[in-house]
Structures are given as C-alpha cells and as structure tokens.
Amino acid sequence: MSEVVTPSPVAEETLVDEVAVDPSTGRPAGRAQALVLLFSSCLAILGAVLLAPVLPAIQDAFEGTAGVEALAPIVLTAPALVIGLTAPFAGRIVDRLGRKRLLVGALVVYAVVGTAPLWLPSLQLIVISRVLVGLTEAAIMTCCTTLLADYYHGSKREKYFGLQVIFTTVAATIFFGVGGALGSHSWRTPFWLYLVSLPLAVFAAKYIWSPAPRPSGPAGKLAPLPWGKLLAPVGVSLVGGLVFYVLIVELSFKLDAIGVESTGTIGAVSAVASLGTAVGGFVFGKLAKRGPAVTVPLAFLISGLGLIGLGLAGALPLIVVFAVITGFGNGLLLPAILTWALGSLTFEQRGRGTGFWTAAVFLGEFICPLVVLALRDGFDSLTAALVIVGAVGIVAAVGVRLARPVAQAEPVGH
C-alpha cells in the first residue's frame, strides 16, 4: 500500500444525503443537473459511431484525394485518439479554471467544429475539424464525469456512474441508426446532429453550478496527484478500454464470418448486446458496495469469458448469448474502474484524475481495432484474436483480485 498523500486543506463541501449542495442557493444537486451531465456525456459517443455508416460514401466522395483509404477512416477514429492524448490536459484546466466555464464553452465549440464538414471542401480540412471535435469531446467528457463525482458521493456516485454507462450505451445504438438513416440522404447530413450540443450548452449554463471549494495552498499551485493510488486504476483502465471496445468493433465481423450479411440482423444483434451493457450499468449500482476488489475482477471475468465464447461460437444463437454476456460485463467494467480511480481523490485533484482515466480508456478503445487486426493476421483467425483478448480480460481479473484494491474513504476536502 502506498503512503497517504495529505492534500492541502480546503473548505469542505456541504453534503445532504451524499449529494453536494449549491453554495449560492443551498439546494442539493438534483435531476436537472444529472440529466444535463448524462446527456452531455453521450456526445463523445456521437463522434465515435455517428459516421460509421457513411464512411464508404465519404471515401467515394473524395476518391481523387491522395491517401483517401487512410484519411477516410481517420474521420471516424480521430476524435477518440485526440481524447486519449488530450484528456489529461483538459483535466488540469478543469481543476485550475473550474468545471462549468469549460463545459459550457466546449459544448458551444463542439457544435461549430462538429458541423464544419457540412461546408468544408476537402477531406484534409474535414480531418482537421475532427481533431478539433476530439479536443472538445475531451473537455466535455472530463467535465461531465468530474461534476458527477463532485455532486454525488458514496452509493449515489456509484449509481450515477452506472447511469452514465447506460446513457452512453443507449445513445450509441440510437446514433448508429440515426447516422445510417441521415446518411441515406447525403454523407454530409449526419453532421447536422452535432448541433444538439447547443441546447445542452444553454441547459448547462442554467443548471450547472460549481461546488467550488478553492485550494488554500500556494497561489497557482495544484495539489499533487496521489500516483501511488492512481497509477494502478489508470493502467487497468487502458486494458479496460481495449476489452470494452472489442464487442462494438468486432461483432459485425464475427457475424459476417458465419455468413450473416443482413444489416437488419447485424443491427438487431448489436442492439441486444447494447441492452446487456445497459443492464450491467444498472446492476453496478447494486454491486458497488462490495468495492473494487470485487467489482473490477468480476467485470473483467464476465467480459473475458464472453469474448472467449463469442470467438468460439459458430451459430447465431450462441453469438447472441455471448454478445449479451460480454455486454453485461462491459456495463460493469467502466464504472467499476472509474469508482476505483476517483475514490481517493479530493475536489482539487478530481479533474486531473478523471482526465487521466478518460485518456486511458479512449486510448484503449483507439488501439483495440489495431490489436485485434494484428492478432487476426498473426493467427490467421478472428476466433483466435477474440479468444486471446478474452484471455487478457481474465488475466486482468486475476491480477486485480490478487492486488485487492480497497475502497478508499472520501478524503477530507472532498
């Protein structure tokens, strides 16, 4: 166990039944604040899945562009990579400048850069706009997760981390279908959906407030992060992001491998798997009291076994069963690791801690297709690739269980 890092003293937040109180009105955080943060959390998923159905059309539209085969997929994957690279910096800004100001500003800029491909004339400029989308998504995701941890404590926090997974999972299913429907009109049409961040910016400006106990240490100096406690969950989150994303990326390829080519069937199976993830996110709130020594290994174990079964399955009914099992494990996985990572952080450390956690998860998601592709080519089999990644999940489960991470008590100055 690492030594306890004592943060500089701060004004302690007022809590009412595990919920933070607005210092200006005396009212605790409620449904309005939660809904703004949960819906805003879905915007990072919008960048990841909305354009998947129109990627071939984008490639065809710019077929004369040098390197189009490489540039077109980057339109989809660039935001995730940028989130992974920049979320720690967003976390530092969150801790230094405050949560609300960054969130509202990022939501407005998101709409501008997100809709830019509606009029941009070249693929290179579109890729640049997607990099900017990733920057805003890093800020939005870090702010939303940090504020959920600020507003809610104990079992309430665990409940809302589970709800965050449910909201983003359902949103991914909806956005995939909406992207396909809008894309049937034109490959540019789905980009109009990025305007959804503008009403969210208005609601955030109205309903979001900062718990805002201010550091009382030296001016301009942030309390150091307790890396002795944070490094393990951040490292495990990288593996978690990889394991989590395999089902999303590879399910359609697995179905194609057994001869299922109907987009309707593939969409239906994906929706059922997403339902499993949503159920896992809901159940997490009930399991969280057992602590990360139980929830994190359990999530990795279920996801790992599901991926092994998915890889070995040769018939559609078995694929559906193991996709649901994997999805259920995924629904437990992210909130379990997040609760572990943030449990020992104070208010003035929480933004940076969330930033590093977000970066690890999204980097894991970004490298996921590359890892599976390398394994598939190396073993000449998608089955082997899925089984190996599933085994990695089981190894992670054993490793975390042996490490026995303890649930940290809320530190003073939370």
Residue 297 pLDDT:
96
* pTM higher than the cut 0.85: no
With bands split at pLDDT 50, 70 and 90, how would you rate the model's confidence at 216? very low
With bands split at pLDDT 50, 70 and 90, how would you rate the model's confidence at 321? very high
Q: Residues near 389 by Cβ (< 8 Å), separated by ≥ 6?
A: 242, 243, 246, 307, 371, 372, 375
Tokens of 339: 């609760």
Residue 16 pLDDT:
64
C-alpha 36/C-alpha 170 separation (Å) is: 16
Residue 45 pLDDT:
81
Q: Residues near 127 by Cβ (< 8 Å), separated by ≥ 6?
A: 71, 74, 75, 78
Residue 120 pLDDT:
93
Residue 325 pLDDT:
96
With bands split at pLDDT 50, 70 and 90, how would you rate the model's confidence at 218? low
Could you read off the pLDDT of 81-123 as tens digits, one per residue? Answer: 899 899 999 888 888 888 899 999 999 999 999 999 999 999 9
C-alpha 131/C-alpha 89 separation (Å) is: 15
Q: Give the closest residue to 241 by CA, choosing from 94, 320, 141, 155.
A: 141
State the SS3 of 161-201. HHHHHHHHHHHHHHHHHHHHHHHCCCCCHHHHHHHHHHHHH
Is the pLDDT score of 266 beyond 90? no
Question: Which domains are delineated in the chain?
Answer: 26-214 (1.20.1250.20), 226-409 (1.20.1250.20)
Could you read off the pLDDT of 6-21 as tens digits, one per residue? Answer: 333 333 456 666 788 8
Summarize the confidence of residues 239-247 as an average pLDDT.
Answer: 92
Could you read off the pLDDT of 148-175 as tens digits, one per residue? Answer: 989 998 888 888 998 998 898 888 878 8
State the SS3 of 255-300. HHHCCCCCHHHHHHHHHHHHHHHHHHHHHHHHHHHHCHHHHHHHHH
